[in-house]
Amino acid sequence: MRPDIDLQQVEQFITVARHGNLTKAAETLNLSQPALSRAIQKLEDQLGKPLFERKPRGVVLTEFGMLFHERAKEILHLVADTLTELSESDKTGTIRLGAIPTIAPYFLPSFLRYCANRHPEITISVTEGTTKSLAKAVDDGDLDLALVALPLDYPYLDVEKLFDEELFLVVSSANPLANAESIIANDLESSPFIQLSEAHCLAGNVDSYCEQRHVNLLSVEYLSQLVTVQELVALDHGVSLIPEMARQLDHNPRRTYRSLTDHPPQRTVAMVWNRYRYQSKWAKALRQTTHEYVDCEMGRQ
């Protein structure tokens, strides 16, 4: 006899798998922990095999559970994509857009205004997060598109390059480098370096550049916010490398931005989406509009 499984059970199972903990999953689902435990037990009984191995501090998927997890995600994706297709006759649509913290506050304000003028029928819901969290959200279907910096090693994501931008050396205006005739990569070794934490892909861009140029950074400090990096630089606490879009919006006279004269570091900004998910006409329109904005508007800034 085939098991009679409904979508609610599938969603509950996926939530437990995501958290690896019944209590946390129950809070997310707004259920009691015993009720969720009974629901998972019922699903396992229907399938005839255990989905989770119970541990003292949580649960982990069994081999069968991992297989069912992949199929369960496909089922929910298919349902969501079908509903999206059916809704395309509507005159308005919503796009869930993600962006990393070193892009969101600098790129999105003017970009969203540009989109609103050209596509007032599209509502854009924005989520900010690290590359890892955004990639997972795109995979899970929680985001339609995301703005990230390359490289990106997620084989299930399609990548569309948008533009390259320079990383500028930012120093205190009192630092001798502020008025140096020219600055080369090895000059990065002359002052303490302030860096974003490894959770941010900008840190990877900087590390890759320094490795390629054989630069050994002096006493690196790791922070979680780019604005904090800039403030510590203004206090002459150290130097850093900052994306051009952040430099353009910084008018603090206590900081000076300089371009490195030998092979200036760069990063590549791209838009990504899940190749296995249905792309709505709204998502396609937003992708096209993003390229138009980059080509027509960013060159004027």
Ordered per-residue pLDDT tens for the chain, 301 residues: 456 778 888 888 888 998 999 899 889 888 898 888 898 898 888 888 899 998 888 899 999 989 888 888 878 777 777 776 666 656 678 899 999 999 999 999 999 999 999 999 999 999 999 998 999 899 888 899 999 999 988 888 999 999 999 999 999 999 999 999 999 999 999 899 999 998 899 999 999 999 999 999 887 789 999 999 999 999 999 999 999 999 999 999 999 999 999 889 999 999 999 988 878 888 999 999 999 999 987 765 5
> What's the rounded Cα separation, in Å, for the pair 7 and 70?
15
Q: Is CATH 3.90.1150.10 what the domain over 91-162+268-300 is classified as, yes or no?
A: no
CATH 1.10.10.10 boundaries in the chain:
7-86
Identify the sign of the CA torsion 193, 196, 197, 202: negative
Beta bridge partners of 148: 270
> What's the rounded Cα separation, in Å, for the pair 243 and 101?
12
Name the phi and psi angles at 46, rounded to 5: -65, -35
193, 170 contact by CB (below 8 A): no
> What's the rounded Cα separation, in Å, for the pair 135 and 154?
8
Q: Is CATH 3.30.1300.10 what the domain over 7-86 is classified as, yes or no?
A: no
Place of tokens 């050994």: 216
CATH 3.40.190.290 boundaries in the chain:
163-266
> What's the rounded Cα separation, in Å, for the pair 206 and 220?
12
| CA end-to-end span of the chain | 65
Say which CATH class 163-266 falls into. Answer: alpha beta
Closest CA to 257 of 184, 164, 179: 179
CATH 3.40.190.10 boundaries in the chain:
91-162+268-300
Beta bridge partners of 125: 96
20, 59 contact by CB (below 8 A): yes
Question: Can you give the pTM of this predicted structure?
Answer: 0.73
> What's the rounded Cα separation, in Å, for the pair 235 and 113?
34
E strands within 237-300? 240-243, 255-258, 266-274
